[in-house]
Amino acid sequence: MPELPELEVARAVLRERLCAKTIARVELFQPLAALVVRDQTARGFAETLTGAQFADVTRRGKFLLFAFAPPVTATLALNPKLTGRLQLAAPNVKRHKKTAVIFSLSDETELRYFDDKAMGQLYLTDDVTRVPTFADMGPEPFAVTRAEFRDRLKPYRGEIKGILTRGEFIAGIGNAYADEILWRAQLHPFRKRTQLTPDEINRLYDAMQNTLRQALEIVRVEMGENIHREPRAFFNVHLKTGEPCPRCGTTISEITAQQRLTNFCRHCQPGGLIRGM
């Protein structure tokens, strides 16, 4: 799933490549397009966007937002979820078999959206607050102070990894970066929030800031303009089951619960309820 670092890099690339470009043609590939495209304007997805000129690309949490020059007033909001990806490509580049939408641009390049499991959504909307989960998001990680972070944690009583991945707590963090943040903070992913000391909460805040900032720099280099890629080889624990912990050498553990994989180091991240390997 693309999270804050990947989406922020994609946003910067798309802003550079798309702004002032016009959409010459919109192609919807069925039946996939019917699953991922949502027209909340009732004016027609392709009809509205054909001829539209990109004005800006922004990010909020795990959403990318495309704004257009007048007379188009609608916003295109992308929530890629688990498997949705955007790709910039020349027309002669082979299309991904799960492509749902292609926007052909005035510079003869294409912006493509493909989704292997049809889990993401592209919303054309006059009001982004009508897009599911959008209005419920908490602050961005880099916008929240240490004191605000501590205060926002107080209402939650569950496992700390689950809290980190709740968009209404902090926007933009998903399963992968939660593992990396907790490893850096040396906190067991299944520790209860109520068990954390003030020092551990401070470590968690610092780990969130440092992990995401460092990831941004790495992803920016490794992704380049290949925004459909998801650089993850630099991770310390996530998807590193059975490999040695980079900090202590202990074999990295894996637990799968509620259809979510969690990786952590039992030595560096002690405590918590052990529910698997």
Cβ neighbours, 10 Å, residue 122: 24
CA–CA separation, 20 and 56 (whole Å): 9
Cβ neighbours, 10 Å, residue 108: 9
Question: Do residues 140 and 63 touch, judged by C-beta distance below 8 A?
Answer: no
Determine phi and psi for 27, rounding to 5 degrees.
-115, 125
Question: Do residues 105 and 123 touch, judged by C-beta distance below 8 A?
Answer: no
CA–CA separation, 58 and 47 (whole Å): 23
Active site residue 254: no
Active site residue 3: yes
Determine phi and psi for 161, rounding to 5 degrees.
-65, -45
> Which entry of 2, 5, 80, 141 is annotated as an active-site residue?
2
Active site residue 2: yes
Distances, alpha carbon 37 to alpha carbons 5, 102, 115, 122, 233, in Å:
25, 12, 12, 5, 32
> Which entry of 11, 59, 62, 191 is annotated as an active-site residue?
62
For residue 152, how many C-alpha atoms fall within 13 Å in the half-sphere facing its CB? Answer: 22
Active site residue 62: yes
> Which entry of 154, 260, 270, 275 is annotated as an active-site residue?
260
Pairing of strands 37-39, 121-125: parallel
Nearest Cα residue to 84 out of 64, 69, 104: 64
> Which entry of 3, 6, 110, 180 is annotated as an active-site residue?
3
Name the residues annotated as catalytic. 2-3, 62, 260
